[in-house]
A and B are shown apart, each in its own frame.
Chain A
Amino acid sequence: MLAQLQQLKPKVTFASLFKFYNSLAKAITLPCVGIVIFIFIWQITASNIVTSLGQFPGPGEVWNQSKVLVTEHYQEREKAQTFYERQEIRNSKKLAKNPEAVIKIRQYTGQATYFDKIVTSLYTVAFGFLIATLAAIPLGIACGLSDKVYRAVNPIIQVFKPVSPLAWLPLVTIVVSATYTSADPYFEKAFVTSAVTVALCCLWPTVVNTIVGVASIDRDLIDVSRVLRLSTLAHIKSIVIPSALPLIFTGLRLSLATGWMVLIAAEMLAQNPGLGKFIWDEFQNGSSSSLSRIMVAVITIGIIGFILDHLMLMIQKRFSWNKQATLR
């Protein structure tokens, strides 16, 4: 009877509740506590800083300003919408009068909104990162496979690796102006300059990690490849790249993070209409809301950086053959 009663008892015991609470605490509660404390400190610090542009923005102002940026975006989109509607009405009237009339379709040339700027930034960093990856992985593989190539290239890598993006930028700007001179450019010059600067700075982590990954392939696997007489290409495809993949991805993640940081500086100076230019413009603008708007940008940059890193992590997990390895 007692045993039966015990079976009827719900499975929720104090211990299991405690365990559940613990896992909940780890997943949600603790990060929330951290954020609340941070906001609190931010509020107190902000209220003690008075600048030439007024009080340093606390969390409240920044939140308000982010809502303003969203509203501005929708207003701008509405304007564009009405512009195109007007244009269409005008053109159809014209055509109704004279079917052979030549009609012009004009692009709306309003301001880029905050979200347009985010998109521009993402495009730019993706383009720069892509160039860097296409150069870095083959270079890393070549250096990892051949000691001679490594010895030849290593000094160059070591010297260029620590160079700040701000040092590259003037050079890149001048070179792009001189060489990228098509009459109807597919890309803006500022875009190319920023992307190339990003590429130059985020090349190195991928190169270095790929070299290490390729150079540390299991000797036995190399011997297997030799016994099978795999061609160089087959050797790279079936042994080298899969072996080095975890480290290549580590490099790519570091590169993307570097690229995203470099991008903001590059955009400020190259005037590429992304988040960097947004900050610069607000800084020049110097209105009472500028500081809050810059803070919104700072937080946006952080969140996007975090998302980009997680995206890379997800791709890495997708391509990782070692499902047991913990990736973080």
Chain B
Amino acid sequence: MQNRYLEISQVSIDFPTDGEPYRALQDVTMSIQKGEFISLIGHSGCGKSTVLNIIAGLHQATEGGIILEGREVNEPGPDRAVVFQNHALLPWLTVYKNVELAVKSVFKDTKSKAEIGAWVEHNLELVNMGHALHKLPGEISGGMKQRVGIARCLAMQPKVLLMDEPFGALDALTRAHLQDSLMEIQAQLNSTVVMITHDVDEAVLLSDRIVMMSNGPAASIGEILHVDLERPRNRVALAEDANFNAYRQQVLRFLYEKQKHPATTAA
């Protein structure tokens, strides 16, 4: 059971078009262990987000399905919380209220009012946002918004944390800070994470396994790379680490030699 916490089983998906339905994904199959950190990497348009949305239950697989802890899941729920690329905070609610909305909808029957308040604050402290509880999303920076988005998901105590290019819209320095925070939190909570990324360094630094996807249509898993680097990982030390660079190179080779971007091959 330990090896099959989350199973993606022979997932294919068709999108309706005017003519033939478009097959975006073909036979995506993999198992994810509890506490594992998985990155999905691939060129844009290869269906990474679609995989994530199917796990989240936001899209329905045409064939195959998702099994979480031995049960099939096919609708969205707080056990598979999603961190969106553009934070998706409700702009009219304060940081605190945004997290509270999530906590209330998950724990309204099991936690008292005081417990809910404490839990909201605890999770915001965890992402270092305890200082801005009563600010509106419009009043804080992009990195801070993404921290709040992560806190909102952590506060739901999801079985799997799904992250859709969580740091894609941030500048390099902010991104590094958030990656470090995420590694710390993940080590502390032993969360199971599936993250989409475009960033090779990010994938190698954070992941236990990197899932490299082939190009669409009918995209599928191309290769899976096990990243066997000691944790906790330090980005500065790893920059000169031979293993780290070897992993990096493998991902780069996959992306730019085996699976050239369709636009570049056409050109």
Contacts and interface: CB of A to CB of B under 8 A. Distances in A.
A226 B78 CA distance: 9
A227 B81 contact: yes
B136 to A, nearest CB: 7
Given A321-B136, A322-B138, A324-B138, A229 B88 contact: no
Interface residues of A, number: 18
B77 interface: yes
Interface in B40-96: 56-58, 75-78, 80-82, 84, 86, 88, 90-93
Interface string A195-215: 000000000000000000000
Main secondary structure of the interface of B (DSSP, over half): loop
Interface in A58-115: none
A321 B92 contact: yes
A235 to B, nearest CB: 10
A98 B243 CA distance: 113
A252 to B, nearest CB: 18
Given A228-B78, A234-B105, A223 B84 contact: yes
Contacts of A228: 78, 101-102, 105-106, 156
Contact of A238 (B77, B78, B82, B101): B101
Interface string B109-126: 000000000000000000
Contacts of B78: 227-229
Nearest to A324: B138
Contact of B90 (A223, A234, A238, A323): A238
A220 interface: yes
Contact of A223 (B75, B76, B93, B105): B76
Contacts of A269: none
A225 to B, nearest CB: 9
A189 to B, nearest CB: 43
Nearest to A231: B105
A242 B94 CA distance: 13
Contacts of B81: 227
A321 B90 CA distance: 10
Given A229-B105, A324-B138, A224 B77 contact: no
Contacts of A163: none
Nearest to B81: A227
A237 to B, nearest CB: 11
A321 B89 CA distance: 13
> Which of B77, B82, B105 is most buried by chain A, counting CB atoms within 10 A of its CB?
B105
A221 B88 contact: yes
Contacts of B105: 228-230, 234
Interface in B144-192: 156
Interface string A289-325: 0000000000000000000000000000000011110
Nearest to A219: B88
A145 B150 CA distance: 28
B76 A226 contact: yes
A107 B50 CA distance: 75
A47 to B, nearest CB: 56
B154 to A, nearest CB: 13
Nearest to B53: A223
A218 interface: yes
A126 interface: no
Contact of B77 (A220, A221, A229, A324): A229
Given A223-B58, A223-B82, A238-B101, A322 B77 contact: no
A239 interface: yes
B77 A227 contact: yes
Nearest to B97: A238
A234 B56 CA distance: 21
A224 B91 CA distance: 13
A220 B84 contact: yes
B139 to A, nearest CB: 9
A238 B80 CA distance: 21
B209 to A, nearest CB: 24
Contact of A242 (B75, B92, B102, B156): B92
Nearest to B136: A321
B158 to A, nearest CB: 9
Nearest to B85: A220
A226 B138 CA distance: 23
Contacts of B86: 220
B76 A229 contact: yes
Given A220-B86, A234-B105, A227 B92 contact: no
Nearest to B84: A220
Given A228-B101, A234-B105, 9 more contacts: A223-B56, A223-B76, A223-B88, A226-B57, A228-B102, A228-B106, A229-B78, A238-B90, A322-B138
Q: Which 7 A-B pairs have the closest CB atoms?
A: A321-B92, A220-B88, A226-B76, A228-B105, A242-B92, A227-B76, A220-B84
Interface of A: 218, 220-221, 223-224, 226-230, 234, 238-239, 242, 321-324
13 contacts: A221-B90, A223-B88, A224-B88, A224-B90, A227-B76, A227-B78, A227-B81, A228-B101, A229-B105, A230-B105, A238-B93, A242-B92, A324-B138
